[in-house]
Amino acid sequence: MIINPYVFGAAFDPDAQAFITAAGITDNTQKSAINTLVLDMKGYGIWTKMKAIYPFVGGTAALHKWNLKDPQDTNAAFRLVFNGGWTHSSNGALPNGTNAYANSFLSTSAISLNSVHVSYYSRTNNTSTGCEIGGGNSSPDTYTLLQGRTHVAPTTDTAIWINNTATVDRVAGVNTAAFFCGSRTAANIIRLFRNSVRIINGTASSNTTSTFPIWLGAFNFAGSGAVWSNRECAFATIGDGLTDTEAGNFYTAVQAFNTTLSRNI
């Protein structure tokens, strides 16, 4: 019989406990899920690659805003500020597709040109065009967008940009209920993973980083919202680029986390 020591009052991982305390999480299942997630990410060697981790536990905007990597209620700690029409529940946060976005206050200029990832766990399968997570400059043009369905014709495709210009890496549209992770690991290497499977093996050249912060639920185009999403988010991250192996391990950890919370797809 395997005994869970956390049931009997043993200390959680310090990073997990800091988040639980800051967010005021009281549910034992949520606490255990957070702790296991942190331990798994550290075990896979990807914890240090994360700048912002949004686990969306607690069911309200006040609880969904916290960054697991740095749970302080400040812009500098990259906690989310929700704007427009969102619906919050135990399953995550659902943007309305017209004016909803969450500001991370984190731009790619604070990360890297050729080592960046963004991820979004979508619980919604639909064919609406929209940007699940992204931000970019208009002068010089540089974009970071992850789109279940791109706004650039043909709009039936799934697409990814990371620190590149109008050139888009794309694939015929896939079921958008999935964990998507877009990653750039070199000037000419950009990938998009759906769950544990690489679906885009891109070569779009990097251009420059953006000073505009990445938004969830929409594309922050030089400070103005565009390409609004209506796909429910159960988890999202921003950070350094991930290799294929790291992306696969990342999916394993995130899927286990959402399975514990009974909201996996």
Count of CB atoms within 10 A of residue 18's CB? 17
pTM: 0.95
Q: Are 59 and 88 in contact (CB under 8 A)?
A: yes
- Burial class from Cβ neighbours inside 10 Å (0-12, 13-18, 19+) for residue 42 reads middle
Q: Are 30 and 90 in contact (CB under 8 A)?
A: no
Q: Burial code of 137-148, b = ≥16 C-beta within 10 A, e = fewer?
A: beeeebbbbbbb
The predicted pLDDT at position 1 comes to 35
Q: What span, in angstroms and rounded, lies between the C-alpha atoms of 261 and 213? A: 29
CATH placement of domain 12-260: 2.60.120
Residue 6, pLDDT > 80, answer no
Per-residue model confidence as pLDDT tens digits over 24-69? 999 999 999 999 999 999 999 999 999 999 999 999 999 999 999 9
User: Which residues, other chains included, contact 256 with Cβ-Cβ below 8 Å and sequence gap of 6+?
Assistant: 36, 37, 40
Determine the 3-state secondary structure of 166 from DSSP. Answer: coil
Per-residue model confidence as pLDDT tens digits over 72-117? 999 999 999 999 999 999 999 999 999 999 999 999 999 999 999 9
Closest CA to 214 of 78, 93, 96: 78
Closest CA to 191 of 204, 70, 182: 182
- Burial class from Cβ neighbours inside 10 Å (0-12, 13-18, 19+) for residue 153 reads exposed
Per-residue model confidence as pLDDT tens digits over 173-182? 999 999 999 9
Count of CB atoms within 10 A of residue 156's CB? 12
Q: Are 82 and 218 in contact (CB under 8 A)?
A: no
Q: What span, in angstroms and rounded, lies between the C-alpha atoms of 70 and 53? A: 9
Per-residue model confidence as pLDDT tens digits over 152-189? 999 999 999 999 997 899 999 999 999 999 999 999 99
Q: What span, in angstroms and rounded, lies between the C-alpha atoms of 88 and 65? A: 11
Residue tagged 């005021």 (tokens): 24
